Amino acid sequence: MLITCTHCQTKNRVPDERASHDPVCGRCGRALLSGEVMVLDESTFDAVVAGSELPVLVDFWAPWCGPCRMMAPQFEEAARRLKGRALLVKVNSDEAPRLSQRFAIRSIPTLIQFRAGQELQRLSGALQASQIIGWIK
């Protein structure tokens, strides 16, 4: 499968059976699937979301949003539990207004699931880790 490094935006080919064995980027050497939530912005979003064959779950959020802050630990837990099976990323909608406009973000938190750069589904509102995991499968 192809996975784009969230750090340097280099596309990496990772055999499916190696996805759970902590693959690293061939260019920068950083973890490709660390099980951590990665932060994307307007300059990195398209390369990472379109360049990954894994499902990518994007959390559009803002630091002033109470439900966003309440969901953050749940999103991080879901990222750990989905390590090697999905890439979970956050986009600060205040710092990425063009992305928020492009995806018609009207309320936050909004979760959008992508596969190969195509939007598959979306939900608005805070979720528990188990709900996030169940929704992405």
pLDDT digits (tens, 9 = 90+) for 74-109: 999 999 999 989 999 999 999 999 999 999 999 999
Quote the CA–CA distance of 52 and 116 in Å, as a whole number: 6
The pLDDT of residue 130 is 97
The pLDDT of residue 20 is 78
Task: Give the closest residue to 59 by CA, choosing from 87, 85, 34, 33.
Answer: 87
Of the residues 8, 25, 28, 65, only one is catalytic, namely 65
Structure tokens at 49: 């979301």
CA distances from 98 to 76, 104, 117, 119 (A): 25, 10, 17, 17
Burial class (CB in 10 A: 0-12, 13-18, 19+), 85: middle
The pLDDT of residue 136 is 85
Q: Determine contact, residues 70/126, Cβ cutoff 8 Å.
A: yes
Quote the CA–CA distance of 2 and 67 in Å, as a whole number: 33
More confident site: 51 or 128: 128
pLDDT, tens digit (0-9, with 9 covering 90-100), for 33-83: 889 999 999 999 999 999 888 999 999 999 999 999 999 999 999 999 999
Looking up tokens 């802050």 gives 69
Does residue 68 have an active-site annotation? yes
Of the residues 5, 8, 28, 68, only one is catalytic, namely 68
- With 90 as the cut, is the pLDDT of residue 28 above it? yes
The pLDDT of residue 18 is 83
Is the whole model's pTM more than 0.85, yes or no? yes
The pLDDT of residue 16 is 85
Q: Could you say which DSSP state residue 17 is in?
A: G
Looking up tokens 């608005």 gives 124
